[in-house]
Amino acid sequence: MITEDTTNTTSTMSNEWLKDELNDAQQAAVTAPLGHQLVLAGAGSGKTRVLVCRIAWVLLNHSLSPFNILAVTFTNKAAGEMSGRIASMVNEAVRGMWVGTFHHLAHRLLRMHWNEAKLAENFQIIDSDDQLRLVKRIVKSMNLSDNKWAPKKIQWFINGQKDLGLRAKDCVRDNFYQDKMIDIYYEYETLCEQNDLVDFSELLLRSFELLRNNPDLLQHYQQRFKHVFVDEFQDTNSIQYEWIKLFCGPDTFITVVGDDDQSIYGWRGAKVENIQRFTREFSNVTVYRLEQNYRSTAIILKAANALIANNDNRLGKELWTQSNPGEPIPLYAAYNEQDEANYIVNCVKDWVHQGGARKEISVLYRSNAQSRALEEALLHHNIPYRIYGGVRFFERAEIKDSLAYLRLVTNRNDDTAFERVINTPTRGIGARSLEIVREHARTHQLSLWQASCELIHQADSILKGKARNGIAQFCEIINAIEDKTINWNLADQVDFTLKHSGLYASYEQATSELVRSKLENLKELVNAASQFVPIHTDLEMTPLALFLSHITLDAGDTGADPYEDAVQLMTLHSAKGLEFPFVIVCGLEEGLFPHKMSSHDPDRLEEERRLCYVGFTRAMQKLCITYATSRRAYNSEFIGRRSRFINEIPKNLLAEVRFKTKVSKPVFFQTTANFAEDEKPLYQIGQRVYHQNFGEGTVLDYEDHRTQPRVLIRFTQHGDKWLLATISKLSILK
């Protein structure tokens, strides 16, 4: 039986405080009677505040203790912030309350009930890279071509089946390809069981099976958690939804907060229909809508509302604001991606000239490939920029090498860690020698560590010379680290590991700035260990094991380091949950956004529209949209049509941008502006024209010298030509 602090809270939250902090709709959701709730929270509507206040309200007004609360978030950062805010509101620590991501909470369950879950007590979590390494090993052992049986696709298949709650034995065999994928899945399950390994998807599936297959344990948690809260409910997948349902017993109330209009992760298993399922499968669900937006201008919200209204099967809501109307949304039709990038550069310069900061600008795109032209233009104009979501600290190669050594110290049977560092730094162990170890492990059903120990102690071992000595040395290093540091503090343990493994030495003599930075990263890892404070001290794990689990779970979060004053470039998917004073959404062309793979699939097209909606609603003060009439891709040039998403925005909300040049220096203005007649350019970039001698062409550039304006035209059959703009042989095609 699990025992935890069950002291009840008796104070009462002030209604006056609620009136000061919450609008009417928010107050209604926070102070509602106990029951099942769906809070449809629009972008920028203060959903986190409502969720936190609701938890505090339940604690303070319904005789519940933190022990009775289960709250699920999608990021570790959100979980930490939520715990802190709730503690400050109820004026006490929230000890006993379970707050965390699906993976953190599932991991906690498995650590507490490892025996019932049929796991080893010291099971090891593997991240995506290590999982892929394991799949590659299986593909090779089955003598399969990794061209035909791509390890990455196999990894997606395995995780996809687990997200659906399916083991290999549950998968349907209906063709040769599917049969072989299931066979690989079987081998993967077997290898993980042998080596006590658990991947991210397995955390949820295994903890779901743990509760489902142990009725007494399930009843304990259903009786314990009187109220369940779930944030970002629109992003839940099948197994997460079923996992949540298990906790909800007959006396449990559940509150889910989400926005069906912001469900953009269908490609990784999220089910927007879970929101509809929730209202059907839970009785007497009360729906609350948060529609007042505190982020964007009225014009931005009107554009977003008009766009998303084209999706069917919405639960329905319309964002509004009491803030200023804002300015019309600039819409720029670029000739090509370079022209688009140059326009964006000028937008950045204008913003900075008007007193804004570069870090306040975010340029959003559908595909990572679009960043190249943007980066080139920004570099050319010496404008600092950052790619959001670059390689983070714990994902850097030298850090992953360090963690692999530490993982082997805690679990010798971790094959993925073994393979990563057996020859790092170099010990003279080649691919052939490692294959001998693998073959011995397969034949005798051993881990690579066990196989290595047997081979180096066999008198007639087929491992010879340098390779045998190298493997023996490696095993001695791992054993020495554990023996020497078993009672040391965590930071000293990590520091000794880096020294004794040779990782420090491999970088200390380097003169290159890049390699020196790797040594600094290793030292920062020791610093991270010195600052590590375990969250769950009730788990019977060593500080090192807790540290490794914490790092691996945190690596599943998306995010980036804080930016300096630099323009922020990112995909639209990466922008979810963020906000910026100035947002530029580029590349709104049919086939690019919406993506060509989605154009003929109604469900995928609706997700593309939701993605566009998310992009628009990131903007606080200013939103700008661009598209190109011509774009190079796959070494070919494509003529594109502007996205249907642009056509779904009312024209009175847009300000189409035209630009003119004087001595080839671009100047931009909006057609809604009031210019004198002689200031208007005669031609526009990308405009189609006809010449009596040269035929049809497209305007590439325009120089307004007043007395003799001229235009650069690319003719279909005669190439590029500069012509006087006033000659009678040139006419504009409609």
Residue 630 φ/ψ, nearest 5 degrees: -145, 135
Of these residues, 26, 73, 161, 262, which one is catalytic? 262
* 231 belongs to the catalytic site: yes
Instruction: Give CA–CA dist 263/576, Å, rounded.
Output: 10
How many C-beta atoms lie closer than 10 Å to residue 373's C-beta? 23
Residues 6+ apart with CB under 8 A from 647: none
Q: Residue 395: which H helix or E strand, with range? A: none
Instruction: Give CA–CA dist 584/589, Å, rounded.
Output: 14
Residue 5 φ/ψ, nearest 5 degrees: -60, 125
Contact assessment for residue 656 and residue 617, using Cβ atoms and an 8 Å cutoff:
no
* 48 belongs to the catalytic site: yes
* 47 belongs to the catalytic site: yes
* 262 belongs to the catalytic site: yes
Instruction: Give CA–CA dist 190/711, Å, rounded.
Output: 69
Of these residues, 130, 163, 231, 235, which one is catalytic? 231
The two tokens of residue 395 are: 């994902």
Of these residues, 127, 163, 202, 232, which one is catalytic? 232
Contact assessment for residue 390 and residue 574, using Cβ atoms and an 8 Å cutoff:
no
Burial of 92 by CB count in 10 Å (0-12 exposed, 13-18 middle, 19+ buried)?
Answer: middle
Pairing of strands 197-198, 124-125: parallel
Residues 6+ apart with CB under 8 A from 160: 269
Instruction: Give CA–CA dist 453/445, Å, rounded.
Output: 14
Of these residues, 9, 26, 37, 47, which one is catalytic? 47
> Which of these, 259, 301, 217, 252, lies nearest to 64 by C-alpha position?
252
Read off the amino acid at residue 229: F
> Which of these, 603, 643, 596, lies nearest to 267 by C-alpha position?
603
Contact assessment for residue 681 and residue 702, using Cβ atoms and an 8 Å cutoff:
yes
Pairing of strands 329-334, 197-198: unpaired
Of these residues, 618, 631, 644, 658, which one is catalytic? 618
In the chain, count H helices and then E strands.
26, 23
> Which of these, 325, 315, 322, lies nearest to 262 by C-alpha position?
315
Q: How many CA atoms lie within 13 A of 102 on its CB side?
A: 28
Question: Distance between the two ends of the chain, CA-based, in angstroms?
Answer: 79
> Which of these, 618, 675, 611, lies nearest to 643 by C-alpha position?
611
Contact assessment for residue 6 and residue 67, using Cβ atoms and an 8 Å cutoff:
yes
Instruction: Give CA–CA dist 415/257, Å, rounded.
Output: 40
Q: Measuring CA to CA, how many Å separate 39 from each of 279, 286, 344, 396?
A: 11, 8, 37, 39
Instruction: Give CA–CA dist 41/20, Å, rounded.
Output: 20
Compute CA 234 distance to the chain's CA centroid, rounded to the nearest angstrom: 15
> Which of these, 658, 679, 706, 709, lies nearest to 730 by C-alpha position?
709
Read off the amino acid at residue 355: G
Which residues, listed in sequence order, are joined to residue 333 by a DSSP beta bridge?
627
Instruction: Give CA–CA dist 504/520, Å, rounded.
Output: 10
Of these residues, 48, 286, 292, 338, which one is catalytic? 48
The Cα diameter of the chain in Å comes to: 96
Residues with catalytic roles:
47-48, 231-232, 262, 618
